[in-house]
Amino acid sequence: MDVVKPIIEEEITKKLDITRLSSNGLIDSFWIADFGCSTGLNSFLAMHVITEAIQNKFQSQRSIINAESPEFYVFFNDHVKNDFNTLFRSLPPERHYQAAGLPGSFHKRLLPKASLHFAYSSWALHWLSQVPNAVTDPTSQAWNKGNIYYGGARQEVCDAYSSQYAKDIESFLKARANELVSGGLMALLVPGFPIKFDYSGPFYKGQMVMDHIASILIDMAKKGRISEEKIDSFNFPTYYTFPEELKAIIERNGSYSIERMEIFDNPGKYAITTAHAHASVYRAVFEDLMTNHFGSEIVDEVFDSYRQKLEASSALLLPEKDKSIIIFVLLKRKLE
């Protein structure tokens, strides 16, 4: 957020046409939504930056538009099992908005038509709505046997992941296009890689993580702790795009103009420096998925082994092994 704060502020100042956000003239209430907010810690800062920039915009145009700043409503979205209790209890007391929780998949419609003025999503769109069906289907060319991710896998597997991603982003863009008012803005922070990888080697960090976890699971299958079929039917439902791919999906949707697109280094790669911290972070990411698929009893064992692997060979912890970037896109809902 520190990196994109000046950009979001600049774009709101330049691109948000507050006189054209409502068909009836000026708006009383300004709606913002954060899609994939988790428990809110990063979201609260983003919502502060956005609401402050919009308030400044209203104040600077006060002589022209002759209206006070509107009331702000922020919809915090995440899936139904997200910890909204923690989110609500952590809301900053000094905030300038009424908060609402919006449970459900952001791949579907969540808000009324033409109600939303500013959409935001950070570090959430890499989550697929599901594991691509083909990769767990033994009759498919894209069956990802003995593997839990698309990195290092055959081209068919990579294509299945990339198709699912395109389908999901299309659903997201379509739902938001319905919800956004004409002229409404959408700021996306999407994790990805700078160029299209061929994914044929374990040369980036996310894939090394997956390779370690897959090999731990395979060892556990050899010991009879879990079945091989269970591993074959488990795949990790995220996908890291690259700028050209994301741009093509947005352009194909047709409802938005791309106002700005920038690439940033992923500051997360410098944040985790010990094997213990690394294992904790990935445990948090994997825990629900693994518990649902294999049962809770194997989770301790998997992440103890994972931490030991990292301690034995700590190359994974070097920031330069992590090639991930953040793609920042600012979109404007076209006027209809």
Least distance in Å: CB of 315 to its own copies? 39
Of 94, 146, 118, the closest CA to residue 33 belongs to 118
The CA distance from 160 to 145, in Å, is 14
Contacts for 89-96 with beta carbons within 8 Å, 24 or more apart? 90/39, 90/40, 90/41, 90/44, 91/40, 91/44, 92/44, 92/48, 95/44, 95/47, 95/48, 95/51, 96/51, 96/52, 96/55, 96/72
Query: What's the closest the beta carbon of residue 170 comes to its own copies, in angstroms?
Result: 21
CA distance 311 to 274: 8
In angstroms, give the least distance from the CB of 194 to its own copies: 38
Nearer to its own copies, 29 or 141 (CB): 29
Footprint on residues 69-88 left by its own copies (CB under 8 A): 71, 73, 75, 80-81, 83-85, 88
Scan for tokens 């991930």, then name that residue.
Answer: 324
Report how many residues bind its own copies under the rule CB under 8 A. Answer: 27
Name which of 14 and 113 has its Cβ closer to its own copies. 113
153 neighbors 147 (Cβ within 8 angstroms): yes
Residue 28 within binding range of its own copies, rule CB under 8 A: yes
Establish if 25 lies at the interface with its own copies (CB under 8 A). Answer: no
Least Å distance, CB 38 to its own copies, is: 14
> Smallest gap, in angstroms, from Cβ of residue 220 to its own copies?
30
Q: Are 151 and 85 in contact (CB under 8 A)?
A: no
Least Å distance between CB 71 and its own copies?
A: 7
Do residues 125 and 192 lie in contact, with contact meaning Cβ atoms separated by under 8 Å? no
* Residues β-bridged to residue 116: 180
Q: Which is nearer to its own copies, 12 or 110 (CB)?
A: 110
Q: Is 115 exposed, middle or buried (0-12, 13-18, 19+ CB in 10 A)?
A: middle
> Judged by CB under 8 A, does residue 29 bind its own copies?
yes
Segment near its own copies (CB under 8 A), from 22-30, 163-171, 181-189, 211-219?
22-30
Of 285, 278, 279, 287, the closest CA to residue 303 belongs to 279
3-class DSSP assignment, residue 55? helix
Q: Cβ–Cβ contacts within 10 Å for residue 198, how many?
A: 8
Residues 86-115 that bind its own copies (CB under 8 A): 88-89, 91, 98-104, 109-113, 115
CB of 86 to its own copies, least distance (A): 9
**Contact between 68 and its own copies per CB under 8 A:** no
Q: How far is the CB of 280 from its own copies (least distance, A)?
A: 22
Residue 108 or residue 334: which is nearer to its own copies going by CB?
108
**CB of 74 or CB of 214, closer to its own copies:** 74
Question: Cβ closer to its own copies: 81 or 223?
Answer: 81
Subset of residues 115 to 154 that bind its own copies, contact rule: CB under 8 A: 115
Q: How many CB atoms lie within 10 A of CB 295?
A: 11
Distance CA 76, CA 40 (A): 8
Site residues, its own copies (CB under 8 A): 24, 28-29, 71, 73, 75, 80-81, 83-85, 88-89, 91, 98-104, 109-113, 115
